[in-house]
Every structure is written in C-alpha cells, then in structure tokens.
A and B are shown apart, each in its own frame.
Chain A
Amino acid sequence: MVEKEIENKMKTEEYFVNMGPQHPAAHGVLRLLLTIDGEIIKNVDPDLGYIHRSIEKMCERDSYQQIVHLTDRMDYLSSHINNEAVCLAVEKGLDIEVSDRVKVIRTIVSELTRLASHQLWWGVIGMDLGALTTYFYAFRDREYINDIFEETCGARLTMNYNIPGGLMFDIHPNFVNRVKEFLVHFKTKLPEYDRLLTGNVIFQKRTKGVGVLTKEDAISYGATGPVGRGSGFACDVRKTHPYSAYDRVEFKEALFTEGDSLARYKVRIMEMWESMSIIDQLIDNIPEGDIKTPTKAVIKLPKGEFYQRVEAARGELGVYINSTGTKNPYRVKFRSSGFSNLSVLNHITKGAKIADLVATMASFDFVIPDIDR
C-alpha cells in the first residue's frame, strides 16, 4: 500500500523542451523539439528552415557558372567539393573531358578541404563534450590549410576555385611546397589528437555505445559518409563511383562496425590519415596540361537530366540538373548528406539522456545550411 502511494507520488510527466535554434551545441540554427520524461528522451522532432535560403529555387534563375558560387554556401566546410559536384554535372551534360592536371588538382584540393573540415569537427566535438583544448589545437592546424587556399585561390573558406570546364586559375608556384610542408607538420600533430582525446576516459565513456546505429538502419535511412561508414555501410563514393583522380590513387575506405559515436569518431580520424596519403601520392606528379577546357561564354546544357554524386566531408552529395536546353536549368536538386543523416537522429536517441543527444549530434557533424539549403 505504501509502495503504491510512493509510486503515485513519484509519477513523472512528459514535457517539451526546445533545443535551439540558438544553442551552442546545435552547430548552427537547428531547432529540436524534445519530448522528455525527466532526463530521458522520448522523441526528437527537428524543426528545419531557420537557415533556408532558397538556393535550389535561385539556381533556376542563374546561369550554370553562377550556380557554382551558390553551392559553397551550402556545406561551407566542404565548399570545394560542392563546387566540384556541380562542375562535374555540367561537364557531364556538355560532354567535355577536363585535362589530367585539372583532375589531379581538384582531387588534392578536395582532400585538403576534407582535412580542414574534419579538423574543425574534431575541435568542435571536444568542445561539445566539455574539452575546450581541442578547439585551440584543431584551429591552429586548420590555419595552415587556409593559408594554402588563400594563396592559390584568394579565399579562405568559400573558394569558388572550380568552374565548369576546369579551374579558375592555375595553382600558385608555392602550392606544392606548402602542401608538403603542411603534410609533414600535420603528420606529427595527428597522433597528438589521438593522445589528447581518443584515449581519454571521459571521452570514451561519453561516446562508447552512445547513439548506436545498425547497418540495416543506416542503409534504410540513407545515412552516408562517416555516419554510414561508422555502422559498417561501405558507401564511399570515391570507391564505388570514382570521379576526378580517385581511380588512380590507392586508399583504404574507413569502415567500423560498432555504429556508435566513437566509431564515427574513429572513421573521421582514419579518413584524415587516408586524405594525407591520397595527397602524398598525387602531390609529386601533378601532370602538365591545360587548366581550362574552353566552353562557350553562355553554357546551354542539352535537354535532359544529369546527375553527379561526390563524397563530401560529411557524406554523399548528389547534384541533379534537369535542363530544357536553355541557359538556365529547369530544376536543380541537391541531395545533401546532412538531411538524410538528420533523419536518423530520432531513431537512435530515443530512450537516451539529453547529454547523449549532444554527444550523438557532435559525432554526426551537422552543417545546418547543408540541411536547409
């Protein structure tokens, strides 16, 4: 009788909590409507649109050269890779082949972008879990890559280095040397990352077994990138559908089968090693050739549909162009990795604590303008 009374008095109620849109752990302006019971999460309902900039609709009014400049504001941490995706799709439509030099330079810069993106993510996952030091370490190393970009294409973040048919400029004379210097530097610093965070007991407790995503779920939700590969889903577009110069380099696809936050963490650390190995293989023998295949000033794609997929830093990016033969596309659709990855969040955080949600989101590495577009 007494026990029942206590149970009645201890009865808890579900209630709603807003997480975001202005929240330090949400990596931008994602709003999550949390239904929670005490500290246990019952439901996560993402509310999108706080940075919806109508990029897809704007593309319908822009020429094909202009579309490129909009895409690096989508997933700004892999801006070069986004540009490359659009350029490859347009080149596919025009049926032109770029020179080997362009392919190799694009691949090197893509991998540098991926490194910079993963460095930032590493700094931020530490910060989300309460370790501010990682932020300073990661951004220290990130500046080296930004310097290389700045010297070659004049911008640090939104680079616009690609144009349909090739590259906007040739590489800077210092490019090769500076990339090599960076690789030497970063190969000594990446083990430092491991020593600082990977083996840390608190970090392990916060991430191991948290937010487990099975391989079947990863496939059915369309989770790609490090999220999919952390669950054992071999979805690296660079391996399955090689583009640019990825068919001439050897690299291992980072695969882990645990599916938890720590596995996603390990995938990204391993990808940083692989990116450096890809650059190592290409940097010494950049072939001679034109940096631009001449195209008409006004590009008109033939009537039809064109699709190109690339591996951006946080998953597969697909660019779908529907052309009616005019100078503007009829419809452009971006298949962004973040949107599919976000759909998994509710499924894997049900029943977890709020703090686990932060750890899981940090391991997902969302870029909100990529989700909203």
Chain B
Amino acid sequence: MGVDKRSFLKQIEPDGLKQVVPNDFPGKVIPGGNGGNIVVTTLDNVINWGRSNSLWPLYFGTSCCAIEMMQTGAPRHDFSRFGFEVARPSARQADLIIIAGTIVNKMAPVLRRLYDQMAEPKYVIAMGACAISGGPFFYNSYSVVKGADHIIPVDVYIPGCPPRPEALLEGMIMLQKKIKTENMTKKVNPIDGFDEGK
C-alpha cells in the first residue's frame, strides 16, 4: 500500500530525484550512485556559506537613514535577494545590527545593551555619515556621539547622507564577503579588547 517515494517522483520528473546544488556552494558534490552523494569541502566553508546567506538584521533606524533602509527592502531594490529579509526588531534573534541614523548620548547605552544582547557571531553595519562620525552634527553639537564605533565595534561603514539603497546593498555584500573568509578556530569576540573610543 502507499506510493513509493521514488516512483512517485519519477512520474513528475522522468530523471528521478534531481539533486540541486546551488551555484555558490563552497565544495564539490560527487554523485555516488544509488541517489546518494559525496560532498567534499571544509566545515569552515560550509558554515560561513550558510551564515553569510542568511543574515538576520536588527533594524536600528533612528533617523533619516532608516527611510533609505526601508527603501532597500522595498520592491525595487529588494534585499531579500541576498538573504536579508528576515528583519528582527529583537536583538536576541538577530545576527547583524544596521545602525541607520544618529546616535546621541542618551541612546548610546541602549545601543550597547542591544549589541550585548545579540548572540554570537554578531556583526555591525554603520549606515550613513552620522553613524560613522557624527556627520552633519560633528561640529557644535553637545549631544551627538561622534560615531557609533565609540560604543560598539563596527564591521562595515557605508558613507552618505543618507546612502543610496544601492550603497547599503553594496555594504551588505561586503559583509557577506568578510564572513566568507572567517576561520572558526581563530574567531574572537569583537568586543574583546575594544577600546570604546579611548
């Protein structure tokens, strides 16, 4: 009784169960007969490949850059093509924090707390002039933190006021490239030895 899985698949696909290997899979897949396969790769490569293609960002949009960040998720630019679409408002489920906007003195402890709540591995993108250096509020402002890297370590800086959505995509792809070169055994927590802008 019941339908054999393979014979059922043969009905819809004459060649039987096709093994689809993604183009960017970091390794070699050798067909081993009997439907099984042999995969030759390293753990580092596979883990980094998986991590870089499913980064869940925490949107930390404080001001104008947040609008361009929303625009990046919208139909024309659509960052779900690169695996960024699972937006988490909660730090505990996020891999990546996108700082889009100015960080002021009152906000700084909150940002640090959110960063500390994130599970490792964690990455930071500073989007826009304000998050990089204070931007237009660098001079004469008594309340603006002159760059998010005074509070948490930043992986990718994206200049612009605000940056175009293409610039944000470029920054995200750069972060993916960075993750792909990581070594699991040598990885350290970026907050270790972070000087907090001394």
Contact count band on B: 20 to 34
Q: B70 — which chain A residues lie within 8 A by C-beta?
A: 120, 135, 139
The reply on A8 being an interface residue by CB < 8 A is no
B106→A49 contact, CB < 8 A = yes
Q: Quick one: closest B residue to A70, CB to CB?
A: B136
Q: Quick one: closest B residue to A48, CB to CB?
A: B106
B142→A139 contact, CB < 8 A = no
A231 to B102, CA, bound (A): 34
The reply on A22 being an interface residue by CB < 8 A is yes
The reply on A157 being an interface residue by CB < 8 A is yes
A28 partner, pick from B66, B75, B106, B136, beta carbons under 8 A: B66
The reply on A57 being an interface residue by CB < 8 A is yes
A53→B107 contact, CB < 8 A = no
B114→A143 contact, CB < 8 A = no
B60→A22 contact, CB < 8 A = yes
A21→B75 contact, CB < 8 A = no
A146 to B71, CA, bound (A): 10
Q: A54 — which chain B residues lie within 8 A by C-beta?
A: 137, 140-144
Q: Interface of chain B, helix or strand or loop or mixed? A: loop
A61 to B63, CA, bound (A): 23
A140→B74 contact, CB < 8 A = yes
The reply on B162 being an interface residue by CB < 8 A is yes
A62 to B139, CA, bound (A): 10
Q: Quick one: closest B residue to A79, CB to CB?
A: B64
A51→B102 contact, CB < 8 A = yes
The reply on B104 being an interface residue by CB < 8 A is yes
A73→B136 contact, CB < 8 A = yes
- Shortest beta-carbon distance from B104 to chain A in Å: 6
Q: Quick one: closest A residue to B88, CB to CB?
A: A24
A69→B62 contact, CB < 8 A = no
- Give residues of chain B (23-64) contacting chain A, Cβ–Cβ below 8 Å: 59-64
A73→B67 contact, CB < 8 A = no
A76 to B62, CA, bound (A): 12
A54 to B161, CA, bound (A): 18
A307 to B153, CA, bound (A): 44
The reply on A29 being an interface residue by CB < 8 A is yes
A136 to B71, CA, bound (A): 9
B144→A50 contact, CB < 8 A = no
- Give residues of chain B (148-188) contacting chain A, Cβ–Cβ below 8 Å: 161-162, 164
* B residues in contact (CB < 8 Å) with A: 59-64, 66-68, 70-71, 74-76, 89, 91, 101-102, 104, 106-107, 110, 114, 136-137, 139-144, 161-162, 164
Known contacts A22-B91, A28-B66; 7 additional CB pairs below 8 A are A21-B110, A24-B59, A54-B140, A58-B137, A76-B63, A76-B67, A135-B74
21 cross-chain CB contacts under 8 A: A22-B110, A24-B89, A49-B104, A50-B106, A51-B101, A51-B104, A52-B143, A53-B102, A53-B143, A54-B140, A54-B144, A58-B137, A61-B139, A76-B64, A76-B67, A136-B75, A142-B74, A143-B75, A157-B64, A157-B162, A158-B64
Query: Which 3 interchain pairs have the tightest Cβ spacing?
Result: A139-B74, A76-B64, A24-B89
